[in-house]
Amino acid sequence: MWTEEDGQRVYLRSFRLQGGMAAIRFAPRAMDSISATPRQGYAVNVEKPADAVVVDFVSAGHRSRLEASWINGPQWRVIES
């Protein structure tokens, strides 16, 4: 969903992964994780490398990873392994 904050267009998106739910705020200058809620049996780790957000949900037998960035607009990749 596109919205406007302080005169800037931002994109808000929720993701349902096998390991949990994540919500990301995409913007050209500031990427943010709004929430990251693991499912039962999973742990969550959120990292903010330069111009990106990475959310990992990890259990004993599975990993769900969301990589979100802004490259000429919102971009994301989901990896289930």
State yes or no: pLDDT of 5 exceeds 90: no
Which two three-digit tokens encode residue 36? Answer: 């990251």
The pTM for the full model equals 0.91
Q: What is the mean pLDDT of residues 8-29?
A: 94
What confidence tier does 24 reach under pLDDT thresholds 50, 70, 90?
very high
pLDDT, position 50: 82
State yes or no: pLDDT of 34 exceeds 90: yes
pLDDT, position 29: 80
State yes or no: pLDDT of 11 exceeds 90: yes
